[in-house]
């Protein structure tokens, strides 16, 4: 009997661990799934690379964040032209759904 109870407790524990690990990978409105997170990391890198490659925009002035394909640009830039160029560059990256511009001109 004790051996049967031990096996049942072990199986119950494994089921709980399995359920918790599967729900940790799922996304929702406020949380990304694991796949979405990695997609957003890749998008952020692509946007940063695009901005870095443009001489009109100072890369270190702009902070880039991505959540579910929506890119947020923030920071302080020297001119409105720099802000517009950064937004344009972000929008041209494949996979970007939307760009939110929170750049402030000094």
CATH code of 32-105, in short, is 3.30.1340
Question: Interhelix angle for 80-91 vs 34-52, to 10°?
Answer: 130
Alpha helices in 1-106 (DSSP H): 2-25, 34-52, 80-91
Q: Which pair of tokens denotes residue 28?
A: 């929702």
Distance of alpha carbon 96 from alpha carbon 88, whole angstroms:
11
CA atoms 55, 85, 87, 96: torsion sign: negative
- The average pLDDT across 29-37 equals 82
CA dihedral 39, 45, 50, 53 (to 10 degrees): -160
Which tens digit of pLDDT belongs to each residue from 55-88? Answer: 888 888 899 999 999 999 999 999 999 999 999 9
- The average pLDDT across 41-53 equals 95
Q: Residue 62: exposed, middle, or buried by beta-carbon count in 10 A (0-12, 13-18, 19+)?
A: buried
Whether the model pTM is above 0.85: no
* Mean pLDDT score of the chain: 84
- The average pLDDT across 8-17 equals 59
């Amino acid at each position: 009997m004790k051996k049967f109870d031990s096996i049942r407790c072990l199986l119950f524990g494994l089921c709980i661990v399995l359920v918790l690990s599967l729900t940790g990978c799922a996304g929702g409105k406020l949380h990304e799934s694991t796949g979405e997170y990695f997609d957003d990391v890749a998008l952020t890198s692509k946007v940063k690379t695009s901005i870095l490659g443009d001489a009109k925009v100072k890369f270190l002035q702009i902070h880039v964040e991505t959540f579910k394909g929506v890119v947020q640009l923030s920071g302080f830039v020297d001119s409105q032209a720099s802000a517009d160029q950064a937004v344009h560059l972000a929008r041209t990256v494949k996979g970007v759904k939307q760009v939110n511009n929170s750049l402030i001109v000094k």
